[in-house]
Structure 1
């Protein structure tokens, strides 16, 4: 039981647990984002005995993905002993579907200066259980435990915990595991019922300040819609031990469902 199975050095097959919320015949993009981070970290570890740490992961989502094998290619754009910039492309049948640019930085001991003004959130055991399958189809949302306190539509504090590994029989870092989940933030507190509007994200950028330690991933999320079809999901990501460990943003294309022919036909949201 995992989200992906490795077929060879660069190719991975998704399982049914990756199926998406907008269309269960396609992949939920969250596990693919984690898979890209895992591929970047794996490639980096083969090139250096003293790996750098992932500091920023910026993803652009170029299209949807069927539940079929994908390939990942990694290219080092800026090598270095203390700072490195890496580009990775996830493709299906030769078509790029997601690209990642990741900054990796040397670790230093700054524990005596750690901290910030980002607010904390209640622990998972202080927040009620919530089932995202109540409003979303697909295998991915059914594979994740969720606790949620919704202040209002578009504003919620949640804790999520995947119930299976990212890649079968492989060790995956806590960072890649986190990045394989946080795209779900956009669907945890819809501003508007999904039978009225669709609001898929076209990107996700995460800036990290620490590596998470616990099983639960906290999401302090605010969704904002503008007046011309633009939207933003802003999330502070939390760890049960460390508190805030990252900030993630997602750019949304917001449309009335009736204005999206592919959705009316049960198809893709993005070309």
Structure 2
């Protein structure tokens, strides 16, 4: 049986479950769940009425061990219409990840909204897919249902996938679409991998998500492409979708080296 959530509350901490395990080391978390936990703190810390997160930038300051983590938030730049929120995660006796998020007050501008095209294939048309690179049977890859809309997780090159959560972020709480988006989007470089997982490490050191509309619904998608440069550096970019159409984009910087 799978754990019910990525994290279990434990006083002022959270205990990471096996669903946070990443592909590179069974003792380290995939960056998606911690990024989502930081997004949760941003949502709880922000004070702008009817605020929407329009950009969330996550810095991975070091590996996050599979164990207890503590998350705190603060408003760096308060305002009635625009605010900047910071969330930090402590793990293993240090700050392991940090996020800053711009949030703005929303209003009804539907009359002037730009068209937001969707993916050619919706989640009902997607092919069931699975990652085969995780060493543990219960790990991050089991936390989402994966359906390929274009390309393939199992083959190199660009790919588009739909995902649906199969667990909660924090036990006892529903996972918000923004949290789901962060859980999913950090896997964009794995979905669109250009290198053999067994021959190279291509871990991201950051993740920036920019949104012009908040995601909604249980199914979200990313259409991702990874580019590897000549000096051990890569970049992964993705268009992000819900069933109504595109909601924004993400970009991540990759540290690439032989395994």
Which residue is 1:58 aligned to? 57
Q: Distance in 2 between matches of 1:51 and 1:238?
A: 22
Whether the 8 Å CA contact 1:61–1:202 is kept in 2: the answer is yes
Runs of at least 5 residues in structure 2 that lack an aligned partner in the other structure = none
Question: Contact 2:45/2:74 (CA < 8 Å) preserved in 1?
Answer: no
Does structure 1 conserve the Cα–Cα contact (< 8 Å) formed by 2:178 and 2:215? yes
Deviates more, 1:219-228 or 1:186-195: 186-195
TM norm structure 1: 0.87
Residue-pair matches, total: 251
Indicate whether 1:41 and 2:43 are aligned: yes
The structure that is helix-richer by fraction is 1
Q: 1:34–1:181: 8 Å Cα contact kept in structure 2?
A: no
Matched, 1:67 2:63: no
Mapped partners of 2:68, 2:126: distance in 1: 37
Shift of 1:246: 1.6
Q: Partners of 2:27 and 2:247 in 1: how far apart?
A: 33
Confirm or deny that 1:178 pairs with 2:181.
yes
TM-score between both structures, scaled by the size of structure 2: 0.91
After the TM superposition, which of the residue ranges 197-206 and 116-125 deviates more from structure 2? Answer: 116-125
Q: In 1, distance between residues paired with 2:107 and 2:172?
A: 31
Q: CA deviation at 1:118?
A: 5.9
Quick one: distance in 2 between partners of 1:136 and 1:212?
Answer: 28
Per the alignment, residue 108 of structure 2 pairs with 109
Runs of 4+ in 1 over 6 A off after TM superposition: none
Shift of 1:116: 4.5
Shift, 1:123, TM fit = 0.6
Q: Which residue of 2 aligns with 1:264?
A: none
Partners in 2 of 1:186 and 1:24 — Cα distance?
19
- Structure 2 residue aligned with 1:142: 142
Shift of 1:38: 0.4
Select between 91-100 and 118-127 the one with higher mean Cα deviation.
118-127
Name the structure 1 match of 2:248.
Answer: 246
- TM-aligned CA deviation for residue 177 of structure 1: 2.4
SS in 2 for 1:200: strand
Where do 5+ consecutive residues of structure 1 fail to align?
Answer: 258-271
Distance 1:137 1:217, change over 3 A: farther
* Larger proportion of strand: 2
Post-superposition shift, 1:117? Answer: 6.8
